[in-house]
């Protein structure tokens, strides 16, 4: 018989340590698995773990490699609890405490219920929504059952709807909290759990926004104190299933963007297999856009996201089907939502980037997606033009500095926040906020979060008005360059399979930052973990060159990535011709590429 040798862990300074009483690491792991199985609430998850336990206990020599792989898998699944923070929960769906599953969701709901009871007493009102991913509806029902048993008044969405509808409902229904079961644009194997607070819990400008400290820590502590999932009380009924009037009320708020302006525009849309297809079509139709052509293969919700490798509009190839349809249909505009429709991507025909080399494609003809900062500036200008005095525009620290110049030109204030709409949406006096990762909030009075549906309506309205003038969104971007200088942004990112490499990469950058960016000397190196410009500390490094080129490097909050946000600014004359602006873009692009190369070298990518 082959036995795994015991692995002893001890404190050498502790005289009470005795090797003969130490528990082996493997025995301890398997005991924790057994305890979790006993406290689980899902028969399939229990069976999955029992199978892994059986494989982990096999001792014949031929199965040792397989056994080692199983033990590694169990170590990963039981490497602590799935962390609950300002992004809520997000992770791969599987059994075990370090995965998304019914047991984890049950304890999360129990913790949220206990937190709400401490904050407002019995009867807290909670809205629960979900997307169309695998298990999302089941996780939402688990949440409704647990919160109802905890004394909350639970209002459950009647079907899989976009995240912005849930965010809207928190304020519209005066709820104390909202839960959205979604993993947004993550891979199909993932799911997540977002928490919003409002009503009597948060009464300031952050009412209806996602959680921030110290709320996240308080809820996390309550989750830690929750019993095993099988011991959490559940109600068999007692919650209210909302009707479609909530969605109707949400769509009615988009009427603020209705006007008598032109609507002659052919728009191709894609939902990327998410839940936004029908809602976006309805919103555009009610706004007067009759020539809307959806990508049919990606219109209906599909939790496998069958036609895309990664359901994020920012990822290469994600919107290729929409671009191809736009080319074939002679469209004027492409609008793409991510799977939960809180983000909005925009693509246009840009002849300056067409190549006509090799096989003819939509991209070779010049179809390209606008960068999030380009759309952010266009929407900012659109909102600022009619905003009342005292209004505030806001953007995240990694977004372009162009929005600050737009605000100043209209006599408005601008605020810079940490990354994430949980920060942007709670700015006092906010009328518009955005972050470069395709997130835009054009109506914070009703939705205090990014909203890909309302942003799509405003982009379409702007594009139609320009189209009637014989102009495009690209011409509007040229106007902004003439007024404020050409701001060109891009991103360098690296995905890591070994998560320990992420902090190591950040420390390496802090210890040895680059001395030049694109051939220009670096003027400032700011460690954002010490706070900067009145912002709370965050893990990141800001580099600024003598020509005002800026680079910010930070770990992603939702993916195993290190992201580098690059921006160069090139002066443009106020009366510059179209060709002069194009030339400025070419120079800016070359400089940005040189900066990106220096950043990659500095990070060892």
Catalytic-labelled residue, pool 16, 136, 184, 395: 184
Residues linked to residue 209 through DSSP beta bridges, in sequence order: 197
Average pLDDT estimate for 500-521: 92
Instruction: Categorize the per-residue pLDDT at 1 as very low, low, confident or very high, splitting at 50, 70 and 90.
Output: very low
| Predicted pLDDT at 360 | 72
Residues 357 and 386 in one domain: no
Q: Are residues 208 and 350 in the same domain?
A: no
Model confidence at 11: pLDDT above 60: no
Which pLDDT tens digit goes with each residue over 320-358? Answer: 999 999 999 999 999 999 999 999 999 999 988 776 666
Q: Is residue 12 assigned to a domain?
A: no
Mean pLDDT across the stretch 241-257? 95
Question: Would you call 81 helix, strand, or coil by DSSP?
Answer: coil
CA distance 2 to 5: 9
pLDDT-derived band at 369, boundaries 50, 70, 90 = very high
CA–CA separation, 169 vs 175, rounded Å?
8
559 confidence band (pLDDT: 50, 70, 90)? confident
- 388 in a structural domain: yes
Whole-number pLDDT of residue 357: 66
For residues 238 and 131, state if they share a domain.
Answer: yes
The answer, yes or no, to whether residue 18 has pLDDT greater than 80, is no
Query: What's the pLDDT at 238?
Result: 98
Residue 593 lies in a domain: yes
On whether both 225 and 94 belong to a single domain, the answer is yes
DSSP state of 551: E
Q: What DSSP string describes 189-237?
A: TEEEEEEEE-TTT--STTTTEEP-TTHHHHHHHHHHTS--GGGS---SS
In this structure, of 159-168, 258-267, 347-356, the range with the lowest mean pLDDT score is: 347-356
Query: 480, 513, 544 — which closes off a domain?
Result: 480
Domain membership of residue 84 (yes or no) is no
276 domain residue, yes or no = yes
Which run of H or of E encompasses 368?
strand 367-369
pLDDT at residue number 171: 97
Comparing 22 with 445, the larger pLDDT belongs to: 445
Same domain, 468 and 574: no
Q: Are residues 257 and 120 in the same domain?
A: no
Q: Which domain holds residue 358?
A: 249-370
Cβ neighbours for 428, distance < 8 A, ≥ 6 positions apart = 205, 392
- How many other CB atoms sit within 10 Å of the CB of residue 593? 13
Per-residue pLDDT band for 20 (boundaries 50, 70, 90) equals very low
Mean predicted confidence (pLDDT) in 117-137: 97
Are residues 235 and 256 located together in one domain of the fold? no
Residue for token pair 């924790």: 32
Name the least confident of 165-169, 192-196, 497-501: 497-501
Of 484, 479, 462, the C-alpha closest to 402 is 484
**Do residues 488 and 521 lie in contact, with contact meaning Cβ atoms separated by under 8 Å?**
no
pLDDT number for residue 69? 93
Predicted local confidence at residue 352, as pLDDT: 81
Q: Are residues 236 and 283 in the same domain?
A: no
Q: Select the more confidently predicted residue: 604 or 81.
A: 81
Specify whether 459 is located in the same domain as 493: no
pLDDT at 333: 98
> What is the percent of the chain with per-residue pLDDT over 70, rounded to a whole number?
95
- Does the residue 82 lie in any domain? no
State pLDDT tens for residues 34-53: 999 999 999 999 999 999 99
pLDDT for 61? 58
User: What is the full DSSP assignment across 122-184?
Assistant: TT-EEEEEE-SSTTHHHHHHHHHHHHHHTT-EEEE-SS---HHHHHHHHHHTT-SEEEEE--T
Q: What is the mean pLDDT of residues 371-391?
A: 97
Give the model's pLDDT for residue 445: 95
Confidence bin at 23 (pLDDT 50/70/90): low
| CA–CA separation, 372 and 564 (whole Å) | 15
pLDDT of residue 3: 39
60 has pLDDT over 90: no
> Which domain CATH number covers 514?
3.30.310.50
pLDDT digits (tens, 9 = 90+) for 71-101: 999 999 999 999 998 789 999 999 999 999 9
Per residue in 263-292, pLDDT (tens digit) is: 999 999 999 999 999 999 999 999 999 999
Q: Are residues 116 and 238 in the same domain?
A: yes
Share of the chain above pLDDT 90, in %: 84
Q: Of the candidates 216, 243, 270, which is a domain's last residue?
A: 243
Residue where one domain finishes, among candidates 243, 266, 285: 243
Q: Is the pLDDT of residue 21 over 60?
A: no
Backbone φ, ψ for residue 539 (5° rounding): -75, 105
User: Residue 184 catalytic?
Assistant: yes
Q: Output b/e per residue, 18-36; b: 16+ Cβ within 10 A.
A: eeeeeeeebeebbeebeeb
Residues 6+ apart with CB under 8 A from 584: 481, 486, 570, 572, 576
Residues forming a β-bridge with 210 = 196
Q: What is the CATH number of the domain that holds 322?
A: 3.40.120.10
Does residue 13 sit within a domain? no
pLDDT at 351: 86
Tell whether 456 is covered by a domain. Answer: yes
The C-alpha atoms of residue 534 and residue 218 are separated, in whole angstroms, by 24
pLDDT score of 119 more than 80: yes
Specify the pLDDT at position 495. Answer: 85
pLDDT band at 19 (very low <50, low <70, confident <90, very high): very low
Reported as a single tens digit per residue, the pLDDT across 211-232 is 999 999 999 999 999 999 999 9
Same domain, 124 and 155: yes
pLDDT of residue 245: 97
> According to the model, what pLDDT value does residue 526 have?
94
User: 532 — phi, psi (to 5°)?
Assistant: -160, 135
Q: Are residues 97 and 217 in the same domain?
A: yes
List, as one string, the DSSP characters of 493-544: EEE-SSTTHHHHHHHHHHHS--SEETTEEEEEEEEGGG-BTTBPP-S-EEEE
Question: In residues, how long is the chain?
Answer: 605
Q: Which residues, in sequence order, are bridge partners of residue 347?
A: 334, 369
pLDDT at 9 over 80: no
Pairwise CA distance, residues 197 & 567, whole Å:
34
To the nearest 10°, the Cα dihedral for 35, 37, 39, 41? 170
Kindly state the average pLDDT of the residues 530-549. Answer: 91
Q: Domain count for the chain, please give it.
A: 5
Average pLDDT, the chain: 93
Q: Average pLDDT in the 116-124 region?
A: 97
């Amino acid at each position: 018989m082959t036995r795994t040798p015991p692995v002893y862990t001890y404190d050498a300074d502790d005289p009470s340590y005795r090797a003969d009483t130490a528990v082996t690491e493997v025995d301890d792991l398997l005991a924790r698995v057994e305890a979790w199985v006993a406290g689980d609430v899902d028969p399939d998850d229990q069976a999955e773990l029992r199978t892994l336990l059986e494989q982990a206990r096999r001792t014949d020599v031929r199965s040792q490699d397989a056994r080692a792989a199983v033990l590694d898998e169990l170590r990963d699944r039981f490497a602590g609890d799935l962390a609950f923070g300002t992004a809520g929960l997000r992770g791969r769906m599987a059994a075990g405490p370090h995965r998304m599953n019914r047991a984890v969701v049950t304890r999360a709901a129990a913790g949220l219920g206990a937190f709400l009871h401490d904050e407002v007493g019995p009867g807290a009102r909670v809205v629960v929504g979900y997307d169309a991913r695998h298990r999302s509806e089941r996780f939402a029902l688990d949440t409704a059952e647990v919160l109802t048993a905890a004394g909350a008044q639970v209002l459950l969405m009647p079907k899989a709807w976009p995240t912005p509808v849930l965010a809207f409902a928190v304020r519209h229904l005066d709820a104390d909290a909202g839960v959205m079961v979604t993993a947004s644009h993550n891979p199909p194997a993932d799911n997540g759990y977002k928490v919003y607070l409002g009503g009597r819990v948060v009464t300031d400008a952050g009412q209806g926004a996602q959680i921030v400290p110290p709320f996240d820590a308080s809820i996390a502590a309550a989750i830690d104190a929750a019993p095993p999932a099988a011991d959490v009380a559940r109600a068999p009924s007692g919650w209210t299933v909302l009707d479609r009037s909530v969605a109707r009320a949400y769509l009615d708020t988009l009427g603020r963007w209705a006007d008598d302006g032109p609507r002659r525009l052919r728009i191709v849309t894609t939902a990327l297999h998410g839940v936004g297809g029908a809602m976006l079509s309805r919103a555009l139709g009610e706004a007067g856009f009759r020539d809307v052509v959806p990508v049919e293969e990606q219109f209906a919700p599909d939790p496998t996201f069958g036609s895309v490798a990664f359901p994020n509009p920012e990822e290469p190839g994600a919107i290729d089907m929409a671009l191809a349809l736009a080319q074939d249909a002679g469209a004027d505009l492409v609008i793409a939502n991510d799977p939960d429709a809180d983000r909005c991507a925009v693509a246009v025909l840009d002849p300056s980037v067409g190549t006509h080399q090799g096989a003819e494609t939509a991209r070779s003809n010049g179809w390209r997606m606008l960068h999030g900062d380009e759309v952010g500036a266009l929407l900012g200008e659109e909102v600022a033009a009619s905003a009342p005095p005292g209004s505030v525009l806001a953007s995240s620290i990694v977004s372009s500095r162009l929005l600050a110049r737009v605000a100043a030109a209209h006599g408005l204030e601008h605020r810079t926040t940490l990354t994430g709409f949980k920060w942007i949406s709670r700015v006092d006096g906010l009328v518009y906020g955005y972050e470069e990762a395709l997130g835009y909030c054009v109506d914070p009075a009703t939705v205090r979060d990014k909203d890909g549906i309302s942003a799509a309506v405003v982009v379409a309205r702007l594009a139609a008005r320009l189209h009637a003038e014989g102009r495009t969104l690209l011409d509007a971007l040229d106007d902004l360059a003439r007024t404020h200088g050409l701001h060109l942004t891009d991103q360098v990112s690296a995905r890591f399979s070994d998560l320990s490499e992420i902090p190591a990469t950040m420390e390496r950058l802090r210890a040895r930052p680059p001395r030049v960016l694109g051939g220009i000397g670096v003027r400032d190196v700011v460690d954002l973990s010490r706070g900067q410009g009145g912002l709370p500390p965050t893990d990141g490094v800001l580099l600024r060159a003598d020509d005002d080129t800026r680079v910010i490097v930070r770990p992603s909050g939702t993916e195993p990535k290190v992201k580098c946000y690059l921006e160069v600014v090139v002066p443009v004359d106020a009366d510059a011709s179209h060709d002069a602006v194009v030339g400025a873009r070419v120079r800016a692009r070359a400089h940005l590429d040189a900066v990106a190369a220096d950043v990659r070298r500095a990070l060892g990518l």
